[in-house]
Structure 1
Amino acid sequence: MKTVTAAILMKNGHVLIAKRGYDGNAAGKWEFPGGKIEAGETPEECLRREMKEEFCIDVEVKEFFGKSIYRYENVTINLLAYWTRWVSGNIFPTVHTEYRWVKPKDLVK
């Protein structure tokens, strides 16, 4: 099982989602940004690192939102989601092809 993190980043009543690049199993799909926890790293450290690497912004990791288990054909993912707050920087996606601010009610499965 792989443990990954997801940032729930809100701005003016909208949440940040990002479209994955065209490599890998989930290529072209929309997601909450985040990533794999590295050895010796806490989930909070992972989210701060991932948001800096993938969007060039600094975030503060706030409260734990919840977890979900996703079973794929070749791997099981333990997804840990956290509320986050944008601290500084301008969004510049480095691995995603697109990002959007959407109303939470407009998110679909």
Structure 2
Amino acid sequence: MPPVIIDVTAAVIVKDDRICCARRAAHKEHAGYWEFPGGKLELGETLEQCLVRELAEELAIEVRVERFLLTSRHRYPDKIIDLHAFQVRWLCGDFNCVDHDLIRWLPLSELQQLPWSAADIPIIDHLLAQTIG
């Protein structure tokens, strides 16, 4: 049987030339790895609606989705993740961690120093390519 494909959203939140990075909490799958916050698409919602909902649930923030960046596909042993990344603008909220145990704001040049979840690495590569090109 082929693995299930799961649509997941990811937010690239930029504030003062730094990007929001979130570390998965010990009780979550892929604990200790860094990711761009977001979450799984639910039935009947758009990718943008999913991202707004997930950021409200996971970080207690309100955002506006500004633009689509890319979709990366990553195959894990038991599933395939289609990770849809968007640039978003933080509007308000306190960045309270639910699924994460740490938030860091890093310049783009320092993102590769963290141990990232494999599905998120193409987003970093995309952001770096945009600054070079």
Q: When the two structures are superposed, what TM-score results if normalisation uses the length of structure 1? A: 0.95
Report the equivalent of 1:22. Answer: 26
Deviation (angstroms), 1:82: 0.2
Structure with more contact order per residue of length (Cα contacts < 8 Å, sep ≥ 6): 1
Report the equivalent of 1:106. Answer: 110
Name structure 2 gaps, 5 residues minimum.
113-120, 122-133
Number of matched pairs = 109
Deviation (angstroms), 1:40: 0.5
Report the equivalent of 2:73. Answer: 69
Report the equivalent of 2:117. Answer: none
Report the equivalent of 2:90. Answer: 86
In 2, Cα distance between equivalents of 1:27 and 1:41: 27
1:44 aligns to what SS in structure 2?
helix
Report the equivalent of 1:4. Answer: 8
Q: Higher Cα Rg: structure 1 or 2? A: 2
- CA gap of 1:88–1:24, structure 2 versus 1, over 3 A, is closer
Name structure 1 gaps, 5 residues minimum.
none
* Runs ≥4 residues deviating over 6 A: none
User: What RMSD, in angstroms, separates the aligned Cα atoms of the two structures?
Assistant: 1.0
**After alignment, is 55-64 or 24-33 more displaced?**
24-33
Deviation (angstroms), 1:24: 4.2
**After alignment, is 74-83 or 25-34 more displaced?**
25-34
In 1, Cα distance between equivalents of 2:51 and 2:103: 17
One-letter identity of the residue aligned with 1:54: E
Say which of 16, 23, 43 aligns to 1:39: 43
Q: When the two structures are superposed, what TM-score results if normalisation uses the length of structure 2? A: 0.79
Deviation (angstroms), 1:104: 0.8
Give the % identical residues.
Answer: 40
**After alignment, is 71-80 or 17-26 more displaced?**
17-26
**After alignment, is 27-36 or 87-96 more displaced?**
87-96
Question: Which has the larger helix fraction?
Answer: 2
In 1, Cα distance between equivalents of 2:29 and 2:101: 15
**After alignment, is 53-62 or 21-30 more displaced?**
21-30
